[in-house]
Amino acid sequence: MVEHNFEILDVTFAALADPTRRAIIERLSDGEQTVSNLAAPFDMSLAAVSKHIHLLTRANLVSQRKEGRVRHCRLEPQTLQAAAGWLDHYRQFWNDKFSALEKFLEEETETPVNHSQKGKRKK
Amino acid sequence: MNIHATSPQIQNLTLSHLFHVPAERLFDAWTDPSLVMQWFGPVGFTLPGAEIDLSVGGSYRFRMQPPEGEAFDHYGVYKVVDRPNRLAFTWILENHECEGSQGLKCETLVILDFVSKGDKTELTLTHEGLPTEKAREGHTFGWTSSLECLDEIISK
What pLDDT does B73 receive? 80
Q: What is the pLDDT of residues B106-131, one digit of tens each?
A: 567 899 999 999 999 999 998 875 54
Would you say B110 and B88 are in contact if contact means Cβ atoms under 8 Å apart? Answer: yes
Interface test with chain B among A1, A78, A86, by most B beta carbons within 10 Å: A86
Q: Which of A13, A77, A94 sits opposite B130 (nearest CB)?
A: A13
Rounded-to-integer distance, Cα A113 and Cα B13, Å: 36
- B25 and A CB contact within 8 Å: yes
B75 at interface of A, judged by CB pairs closer than 8 A: no
- In the predicted model, residues of chain A with pLDDT beneath 50 are 1-4, 113-123
Please enumerate in sequence order all residues whose Cβ is within 8 A of that of A12, keeping only pairs 6 or more positions apart, or say none.
A59, A60, A61, A79, A80, A82, A83
Q: Report whether pLDDT(B135) > 60.
A: no
Structure confidence at residue B5 (pLDDT): 31
Question: For residue A8, what pLDDT is reported?
Answer: 60
- Residue B80 is predicted with a pLDDT of 96
Residue B134's Cα: distance from chain center in Å? 21
- The pLDDT value recorded for residue A52 is 93
- Pick the residue with more confidence: A64 or B73? A64
Would the pLDDT of B103 be above 50? Answer: no
Strands (DSSP E) found in chain A: 33-34, 62-67, 70-75
Lowest mean pLDDT among A71-75, B67-71, B77-81, B101-105: B101-105
* pLDDT (0 to 100) of residue A86: 61
* Average pLDDT in chain B: 73
CB distance from B11 to chain A under 8 Å?
yes
Q: Which one is predicted more confidently, B147 or B94? A: B94
Between CA B36 and CA B77 the distance in angstroms is 16
> Could you give the domains of chain B?
14-154 (3.30.530.20)
Could you please state the CATH topology (level 3) that the domain comprising A6-78 is classified under. Answer: Arc Repressor Mutant, subunit A (1.10.10)
Least confident of B33-42, B74-83, B122-131, B134-143: B134-143
Q: What angle do CA A95, A97, A99 make, to 5 degrees?
A: 70
Q: Residue ranges per domain, chain A?
A: 6-78
Residues of chain B with Cβ-Cβ distance to A13 below 8 Å are 130, 143
Per-residue pLDDT at B94: 53
Contact at CB, A83 and B151, closer than 8 angstroms: no
Q: Which DSSP state fits B142?
A: -
Quick: pLDDT tens for B3-55.
333 333 455 678 899 999 999 999 999 999 999 988 887 667 778 889 999 99
Q: Is the pLDDT of residue B75 over 80?
A: yes
Are B154 and A89 within 8 A, CB to CB? yes
Nearest residue on chain A to B4, judged by CA atoms? A29
